[in-house]
Amino acid sequence: MSKFTSLKGLVSLVSGGASGLGRATVERFTKQGARVVLCDLPSSDGEKVAKQMDNCMFLPADITSEKEVKEVLRATMENYKCLDVLVNCAGIGVARKTYSIQKNLPHPLDEFERVLKVNTLGTFNMIRQAVILMAQNEPNEDKARGVIINTSSVAAFDGQMGQVAYAASKAAIAGMTLPLARDIGEFGIRVCTICPGVFDTPLLAALPQKAIDALTKTVVFPQRLGKPDEFAQMCQTIVENPYLNGETIRLDGALRMV
């Protein structure tokens, strides 16, 4: 069976794999026979989650750290001798308006910076180092060597009030998709980005219940929160379809946030 036509045997690195969409991706990929490196913060449940799955190892790192990501990739090579798939799920949210007149408070700059650093810079840090490993892979008959999947958000296009930092960080990830594909296509590496709508995870659960209910009501169909495995299923589809490249894919039940 040609490599990348199924997840079986593929060495996959999932950032943010200890929770939510990343965890669901680790679960689906390991069940499909992939060998998975779960990367998440040392303070996360990464160790516990990895232990619950077959062919899964936890390698702690802050994705914004060049040094820690380099160590994760070194350990991946030491344990698995290659890297085939990278799924960037790690990310944080923030709810803050540009200016709160009640508190006479402009959006704190360090908060804006932190969101961009984790979501955008962290995603790029994983990619720029993972490409070095993928480029060493033996190509399959289609000359394919690797697949990179990033996680943006519908907020990249329909950002709500209070989402200026988050939307900027996610729009940047969507904006990176095509130039990344152009840059690394010569090595046989494809790049796609998923823009999830509202999914049932701890990150979304941080919103006021009223907000979650209002958002869920605006999902056209199916009118419910997305299931994290539905995100993971999209990741599997991207890996297994060799002609999908440079694309940003909304996965949102036709939600258009107001």
Ligand X SMILES: C[C@H](O)CC(=O)SCCNC(=O)CCNC(=O)[C@H](O)C(C)(C)COP(=O)(O)OP(=O)(O)OC[C@H]1O[C@@H](n2cnc3c(N)ncnc32)[C@H](O)[C@@H]1OP(=O)(O)O
Ligand Y SMILES: NC(=O)c1ccc[n+]([C@@H]2O[C@H](COP(=O)([O-])OP(=O)(O)OC[C@H]3O[C@@H](n4cnc5c(N)ncnc54)[C@H](O)[C@@H]3O)[C@@H](O)[C@H]2O)c1
Q: With contact defined as beta carbons under 8 Å apart, do 232 and 27 qualify?
A: yes
Residue type, 24: A
Query: How far is Cα 193 from Cα 151, in angstroms, rounded to an integer?
Result: 6
The nearer residue to ligand X, 149 or 184, going by C-beta atoms, is 149
Is 196 among the residues that bind ligand Y (CB under 6 A)? yes
Find the binding residues for ligand Y in span 123-152 (CB under 6 A): 151
The nearer residue to ligand Y, 22 or 253, going by C-beta atoms, is 22
Question: Which part of the chain contacts ligand X (CB under 6 A), choosing from 12-20, 31-39, 150-158, 228-236?
Answer: 150-158
Minimum gap (Å) between residue 218 Cβ and ligand Y? 13
Q: What is the DSSP string of the chain?
A: --TTSSSTT-EEEEETTTSHHHHHHHHHHHHTT-EEEEEE-TTSSHHHHHHTSTTEEEEE--TT-HHHHHHHHHHHHHHHS---EEEE-------B-SEETTTTEEPPHHHHHHHHIIIIIHHHHHHHHHHHHHTTSPP-TT---EEEEEE--THHHHPPTTBHHHHHHHHHHHHHHHHHHHHHGGGTEEEEEEEE-SBSSHHHHTS-HHHHHHHHHT--SS-SPBPHHHHHHHHHHHHH-TT--S-EEEESTT----
Minimum gap (Å) between residue 234 Cβ and ligand Y? 12
The nearer residue to ligand X, 116 or 211, going by C-beta atoms, is 211
The nearer residue to ligand Y, 24 or 144, going by C-beta atoms, is 24
Tell me the per-residue interface mask from 7 to 36 with ligand Y, x by CB under 6 A, - otherwise: --------xx-xxxxx--------------
**Is-catalytic flag, 166?**
yes
Is 162 among the residues that bind ligand X (CB under 6 A)? yes
Question: Which part of the chain contacts ligand Y (CB under 6 A), choosing from 30-38, 128-136, 202-210, 237-245?
Answer: 202-210
Is 153 among the residues that bind ligand X (CB under 6 A)? yes
Binding site for ligand Y (CB under 6 A): 15-16, 18-22, 40-41, 44, 62-64, 89-93, 118, 122, 151, 153, 196, 198-199, 201-204
The residues carrying an active-site annotation are 166
Residues in touch with ligand X (CB under 6 A) = 93, 95-97, 153-155, 160-163, 198, 203-204, 207-208, 210-211, 214-215, 257
